[in-house]
Amino acid sequence: MDDLTFFIALSIGALSTLHCLGMCSGIIGALTVSLPSEIQNNRRKMLPFIVSYNFGRISSYVLAGAIIGSLSSSVFSMISPKIGHLILGTFAATVLLLIGLHLAGWFPKLIKIETIGRPVWRRLEPYGRRLLPVKSIKQAFFFGAIWGWLPCGLVYSTLLWSASGGSASESALLMLAFGLGTLPTTLFAGMLSGWLAKLSRSPNLRKVAGSIIMIVAFISLFFALVPESHKLLHLAR
């Protein structure tokens, strides 16, 4: 994985919070409300719980990335490396384009991808509720690790995109970058909830964010197709 791909994953995470802020704020709200009042009223004491929750959430992204990366590696190992690289590059750029369209509000149907994870979520969600009220930092971590599997169209789309990493470790790193991209907003969602909520409702800002992702998708598609097309033509001769 090159630095550009890592940066793309980081950017998707940062930009996706404009779309997912309401959901993330609600979950963090459930966490904070369950804390003792002396912690709720002291941001310095509450911050370790929020940090622990978020690292639990990101750990679930990394695990999911490792799983899908391992599966994609098994599938593409059966294909010619040259053809496989072309397919992976095209697949990654296509999913990236769909993410951009969804962020901009031009492809709301992408949310249907959430159905993939609903069977897993139905099994995990009761365990998450049992962790409430959260009374320790360790408990906050496991609360986040379970709620990280909450069906979200953008998270699951990014997970599919991470399959282009071609291995468990590469896909896990991409999902780590995505998670780190979401971290600043989710860390401060409680403190800046009003301002962030107003920001997330701005259609123009979401269109700009989606357009940035789409431009990156077209650039990625170009670099995936052009060099590999030349190689395939050379092999055909």
CB 133 within 8 A of CB 82: no
pLDDT one-digit tens code per residue, 150-164 = 888 888 889 989 988
Which residues, 6 or more positions from 133, have their beta carbon under 8 angstroms from its beta carbon?
34, 35
pLDDT one-digit tens code per residue, 165-219 = 889 999 999 999 999 998 887 777 655 554 555 655 667 777 888 898 899 888 8
Which residues, 6 or more positions from 201, have their beta carbon under 8 angstroms from its beta carbon?
none
Q: How many separate domains does the chain show?
A: 1
Q: What does the mean pLDDT of the chain come to?
A: 81
Question: Which regions of 25-177 does DSSP assign to beta strands (E)?
Answer: none
User: Does the CA dihedral 80-83-85-89 come out positive or negative?
Assistant: negative
pLDDT value at residue 197:
54
pLDDT value at residue 115:
82
Total Cβ atoms within 10 A of residue 74? 10
SS (H, E, C) 55-78: HHHHHHHHHHHHHHHHHHHHHHCC
Domain span at residue 30?
A: 3-236
Between 186 and 70, the higher pLDDT residue: 70
- Specify the pTM: 0.83
